[in-house]
Every structure is written in structure tokens, then in C-alpha cells.
Amino acid sequence: MSAGEPGRAEQLARRRELLVLRSARLRQQVRGQLRVVQPALLWADRLQDAWYWLRANPLAVAAGVLALAAWRPRRSLGLALRFWSAWKLFQRARSVGSAASRLL
């Protein structure tokens, strides 16, 4: 062993300590920044859970739609037409977007 090796080990240990402290500081900063967006992320999780539930229970969705149609037939028809129009607009926008991306 040469005389320079213990100094090198000490330097590495000190560097490791500094990096551990820096990592802890950075984790604190990220935690603080995430607190700001946490409510939005919670809502996104709820929406995703609701979407999964709707996809897993199509009969419940159909029963709800039928109940609404029986309860308010005129309003249901207007709502259905709006959804249909929005769906067609979405499809058109998606096809225009994919055509534009192929040109680029």
C-alpha cells in the first residue's frame, strides 16, 4: 500500500457524504414541488379509476343510459346528438392530425 491510498479513500468518503446530502436536498425540493400538483394528480387517479370501472361494468352504464332516456326522453335525445357530434368532430380532428403528422 502506498501513502496516497488512504487519502484517496477519505476523499471518496467525503465525496459520497456530499452526494448523499445533495440527494436529500433534491428529494426535499421535488417533494415540495409535487405538493403543488398533488390535488390534480389525485383527481386524475379518480378519473382513471372511474374509467376502468365503466369499462368493466358496461351493463351498469347501459342501465343508467336507459334510465335517463326513460326519465327525460327529449333531453336524452339532445344529449345523444351532442355526444355524437362531438365524437365525429374528434374523429375528424384525429384523422387530420394523423395526416398532418405523415406529411412532416
3-class secondary structure, 2: coil
Distance CA 6, CA 60 (A): 71
Q: In the structure, what pLDDT confidence band is assigned to residue 2 with cuts at 50, 70 and 90?
A: low
Give the model confidence (pLDDT) of 12-71 as tens digits.
999 999 999 999 999 999 999 999 999 999 999 999 999 999 999 999 999 988 998 899
Task: Tell me, yes or no, if the pTM score tops 0.85.
Answer: no
Question: Buried (b) or exposed (e) across 50-64, using 16+ Cβ within 10 A?
Answer: eeeeeeeeeeeeeee
> What per-residue confidence (pLDDT) applies to 60?
94
Structure-block grid coordinates of residue 48: 382513471
